[in-house]
Structure 1
Amino acid sequence: MRRCILGSLMLLLAGISGLSYAGSQIEEPLSNSVKALMQRSVSDRAAPTLTFATEEEGRAWMNAMSERLKKRMPDARYREDFLRTVHYEASRAGLDPQMVLGLIQVESGFKKYAVSSVGARGFMQVMPFWVRSIGANDHNLFLLRTNLRYGCTILRHYVDIERGDLYRALGRYNGSLGRPEYPNLVLSAWRKHWDYTPGNWNNTPKNI
């Protein structure tokens, strides 16, 4: 309960001040097998699609998320492309798309060209060293698809390192492992603004 209250308070302060809480992933040596796996993941070129059991479920999710994001992204076409890409990249990495939306809210405030004081870039605030480590020189971290693909691949890597412990994985993603502020912010944003239950018609928009 204390974590939830603290996270909600920090999220409110962040929203009032317009600040994001981007940190920096820490460059660490990767085994050849892990590097190869991540390289395959970031080289994916499939077109982003919604992966729901039925088309109706996909439309319901898109409508609910789009309404919540409208103030941050007024352009409907771009907003839908963004949400479709988030859902695809998160799902293929085995992550909850709504959690990833919470992470993006905290990391960049949904600003495509956000740059942190240490050089982390884009929606998911990816550090440039990842391009050298697992990508290709022509990968642009400000491109929507590229940024989300890297961000989700990196977070999945940290979840695996932490044996499924999302709280610790989020700390690693932000470069703040062992400190509660960042994981609490992401989890609070997820629950407060992006929580969604398929088939629940009470999925009312949460203002962000």
Structure 2
Amino acid sequence: MRRRQGLAAALAALLGAWSGLARAGAQVEEPLADAVRTALSSAIANAAPPVPEFRDTASRLAYLRWLGEMSQRLRKRQPLWLDRKEFLQTVWYESRRAGLEPSLVLGLVQVESNFRKFAVSAVGARGYMQVMPFWSRLIGDGDAGRLFHMQTNLRFGCVILRHYLDRERGDLFMALGRYNGSRGRPEYPNAVLAARRNWEWRDVAGEAPAVPAGNAGQGI
């Protein structure tokens, strides 16, 4: 029994240490081709407000159901409804704008900053998505202080992760490693992918009712 308790304590300590390391991770500054720099700068500079638009009422209702469910899951970390709504709306907008799943971005935010807007790592990464200040110089206006602005931070983080995904030809494991500055190592990607499960959502309410097997093709 004591041996099991000791093992459990050791595992808890290891997980706690990894949790701190995850938030201390950092993207590595690498040379960017002019075309890539221009494309990333353009993606950051387009300061469209995070106002969701929908092609039809069903899509809007699906979004509202997602917002309600995610708000409940986030409530312990962000007690104020208006703060949760603004944050989730921005995550939804910026993740979809970058071609990412909102659940992936929320999982990454959980691991990187535990949803702390003003988090700063030991190596200087900032904000919700722990963006390194050099990105402001490479593709922004040079003002690293703006990385504490919610939409700016989420936009930078999503655009950077999209960039890494493209570099790794869609390999999410390797792209997450690049994001953390630990490419090829499993700890960080595994942590983010595990956290993503906390934010996955299936819109059961919006699905068409299943057709009973005996009535298939009978036009009911």
User: Counterpart of 1:133?
Assistant: 138
User: Counterpart of 1:45?
Assistant: 47
Q: CA deviation at 1:55?
A: 1.7
Give the counterpart letter for 2:186 in structure 1.
P
Give the counterpart letter for 1:124 in structure 2.
M
Give the counterpart letter for 1:156 in structure 2.
R
- Asked whether 1:124 is paired with 2:129, we answer yes
Give a deviation string over 1:58-106, Cα, whole Å, max 9, x none. 1100001000000000111011000000011110100001110000000
Verify the 8 A CA contact 2:19 2:111 in the aligned structure 1.
no
Whole-angstrom distance in 1 between the partners of 2:21 and 2:50: 27
Whole-angstrom distance in 2 between the partners of 1:189 and 1:18: 12
User: Counterpart of 1:177?
Assistant: 183
- Larger RCO, structure (CA 8 Å, separation 6 or more): 1
Q: CA deviation at 1:44?
A: 1.6
User: Counterpart of 1:69?
Assistant: 74
Q: Normalized per residue, which structure has more helix?
A: 2
When the two chains are superposed, the root-mean-square deviation of aligned CA atoms in Å is 2.1
Verify the 8 A CA contact 1:112 1:123 in the aligned structure 2.
yes
Residue correspondence of structure 1 range 11-160 to structure 2 within 5 A: 13-14=15-16, 19=20, 21-22=22-23, 23-50=25-52, 54-138=59-143, 140-160=146-166
Whole-angstrom distance in 2 between the partners of 1:170 and 1:70: 26
Q: Which runs of 5 or more residues in structure 2 are unaligned?
A: 1-10, 207-220
The count of residues paired between Structure 1 and Structure 2 equals 190
Verify the 8 A CA contact 2:27 2:181 in the aligned structure 1.
yes
Q: Between Structure 1 and Structure 2, whose CA radius of gyration is higher?
A: 2
Q: Which moved more, 1:25-34 or 1:137-146?
A: 137-146
Whole-angstrom distance in 2 between the partners of 1:152 and 1:26: 16
Give the % identical residues: 53
Q: 1:61 to 1:172 in 2, by over 3 A?
A: same
Give a deviation string over 1:165-206, Cα, whole Å, max 9, x none. 111100000000010000000000111x111112358xxxxx
Verify the 8 A CA contact 2:137 2:143 in the aligned structure 1.
no
Q: Which moved more, 1:46-55 or 1:16-25?
A: 16-25
TM-score (ref. length: structure 2)? 0.81
Give the counterpart letter for 2:204 in structure 1.
G
TM-score (ref. length: structure 1)? 0.85
Give the counterpart letter for 2:196 in structure 1.
W
Residue correspondence of structure 1 range 178-193 to structure 2 within 5 A: 178-191=184-197, 193=198
Whole-angstrom distance in 1 between the partners of 2:131 and 2:159: 11
Give a deviation string over 1:118-175, Cα, whole Å, max 9, x none. 0000000000000000000346100000000000000000000000011110000000
Q: CA deviation at 1:50?
A: 3.1
Q: CA deviation at 1:51?
A: 5.1
Q: Which runs of 5 or more residues in structure 1 are unaligned?
A: 1-8, 202-208
Q: CA deviation at 1:13?
A: 3.5
Give the counterpart letter for 1:168 in structure 2.
M
Whole-angstrom distance in 1 between the partners of 2:83 and 2:46: 21
User: Counterpart of 2:4?
Assistant: none
